[in-house]
Amino acid sequence: QWQREYVTSNDPENRAAEMALFLTFLAYSSGGMAVVKTAASALKFYTGLRGQEANIFADPLINTVMKGLDRDFSKPVLQKEGFSPAEVMKLVKYLLREKIAPKLTDLRMATLTLVMYTAALRFEEAAAIDLKNIETLVSGNISITLRKGKMNQLAKDQVIILPKADSGVERDLDVTQLLHRYTTPIKARRYKA
């Protein structure tokens, strides 16, 4: 019916172009890919029943049109909203809330939170940091050597510098101070053993 209404010539060489136009027409007239996918499955089945050897859906033009329609009608990816600096500081303060000394697990989580936020790392990258890859520079900044990152698997020994905070920042909220506070007892225990 569509072919009779919209196609003027019946050239067998233009079957792929006609099919591409038909699928595009279906997508935009019905408002979605569900109808297009159903029609494509039905047409594949129908051409198989007729014994046609050349499958029109293997044509590169049809594949390109289907991918384009998929993109046009796909739902947009909602980006997750990141933490604000105030929210990160509130979380760190909450983790370090003990009057005498925070628990080691809370200190570790607060340290990882600040390291991840300051260096823009994923949890897996921050958790994989080894003590031997942390170095304090003369300036007071901390250098961390990462073995590899999730987004760049080929980047070996990537160095990240964690800046020392300004003098107005609380000691607990300075990532370099917190990292020293967490790693010093661990290093001491490791070297004793």
Query: For the chain, which ranges sit under pLDDT 70?
Result: 1-4, 6-13, 50-55, 99, 148-156, 166-172, 185-193
pLDDT of residue 162: 85
Which pLDDT score, from 0 to 100, does residue 9 have?
65
Give the model's pLDDT for residue 148. Answer: 62
pLDDT at 189: 59
pLDDT at 193: 46
Give Cα separations from 151 to 63, 125, 155, 161, 182 (angstroms): 29, 10, 9, 18, 27
Q: For residues 18 and 13, give the distance between their C-alpha atoms in angstroms, rounded to a whole number.
A: 10
> So what's the pLDDT on residue 20?
85
Tell me how far apart the alpha carbons of residues 158 and 113 are, in angstroms, rounded to a whole number: 20
Q: What is the pLDDT of residues 5-23, one digit of tens each?
A: 766 666 666 777 888 888 8
Which pair of structure tokens corresponds to residue 38? 């159903």
Concatenating the DSSP letter of every residue in 23-68 gives HHHHHHHHTSHHHHHHHHHHHHHHHHHTT-SS-GGGSHHHHHHHHH
